Structure 1
């Protein structure tokens, strides 16, 4: 895989407050450049939600109402996050969830394309019993020595782990087009368009 041929790409992860629909409490956006995650240029935001964080959500990611009490509200961060995301490709694990929530919070934002490492893993590693992020980390054993120390289920860590999984799986494909054909869910930005049947006129 020639990583120099890749367009601008951000691996993203979001965490919510546990309500339905969720308020965002954390966003991470990690650029991948030259076949490596560029932590020096990453974006990360903690957000005070409009509605309290549920006990279940706080138990998963550790972002309690007390932790978020002095963080900015979404209205104060929306423009900054939207500008950072720009029109780059995004990548996430179970990407339609992250894309849906980012798009709901940023209605005017539209990425160039959406890569789903869950979909890509099912195409790359056929027959695994599970394709959760934890299962793939165990199967692929990516180098996470430089991952943020906050741990699993925090956006910055999960984005770093997802980036390393993406780069490992990309080695199984010769071109960007082959990768995206396997990784972009139908109906999301960047999905290959079906070929049109030739017509007489």
Structure 2
């Protein structure tokens, strides 16, 4: 099972107001285990980056000026994600920007049901509790001490760990896939054959039970 943990950075909140993608970070999981494969790119938005946005992610117009435009990286991005499920925190935000950019570049948009929203997962699992990525890192003991600013690749790496915890803990990702039995679809354990143990009462036990019933007044389990 292949999944892509994904995060983006943008110039603002709404693509319909002219805001654009400026960074995409992706981490590949197979059977809930990080493979080491990743996709990361900075994007020239061909517009200014408002100061409020720079304060969040630190990506300035000057830094992005020589980076490729989305159209130049779209094919590589689409090839990397393939048909995998996309694990995203607050998926509606990132999906809106990705689909806006894909549409402009002439690519098919991403179906909403491809996204696994970890924000929704967290709110269902911990109703009323903070569900930001930082809050979830703290809850699960995921080290985010290097996260002084938002960054798509770093956030995707943190989210991958948080996602496994939301699924039930990191151990869920330890697929026993090293041996041939696991590759065949299961784990085989050889055990010695044992004869079935008898469970019927012996003649002596039946006689002892009958004697006990004689000593009781109207026993409810008497057969006669």
Unaligned runs of 5+ in 2: 173-224
Q: What do the CA deviations read for 1:84-124 (whole angstroms, capped 9, x no partner)?
A: 12211001110111112111212304356210111001112
TM-score w.r.t. length of structure 1: 0.73
What is the CA-CA distance between 1:79 and the residue it aligns to? 1.5
Which fold has the larger relative contact order, with Cα–Cα distance below 8 Å and residues 6 or more apart in sequence? 1
Aligned partner of residue 18 in structure 1, secondary structure: coil
- The 1-side partners of 2:13 and 2:126 are apart by 33
Q: CA deviation at 1:8?
A: 1.3
TM-score for both structures, normalised by structure 2: 0.66
Superposed, 1:10-159 pairs within 5 Å as 10-18=4-12, 20-21=14-15, 22-38=19-35, 40-107=36-103, 108-110=108-110, 113-128=114-129, 130-143=130-143, 151-159=148-156
1:92 and 1:138 map into 2 onto residues whose CA distance is 18
8 Å contact from structure 1 (residues 82, 106) kept in 2: no
Output one character per residue of 1:117-146: Cα deviation in whole Å (capped at 9) or x when no partner. 110011122331x2111111111212558x
Indicate conservation of the 8 Å contact 2:58/2:149, yes or no. Answer: no
- Kindly report the root-mean-square deviation, in angstroms, between the aligned alpha carbons of the 2 structures: 2.2
Unpaired segments ≥5 residues, structure 1: 1-6, 176-201
2:163 to 155, 162, 166: 166
Structure 1 segments (4+ residues) deviating >6 Å: none
Pick the structure with greater CA Rg. 2
Aligned length: 162
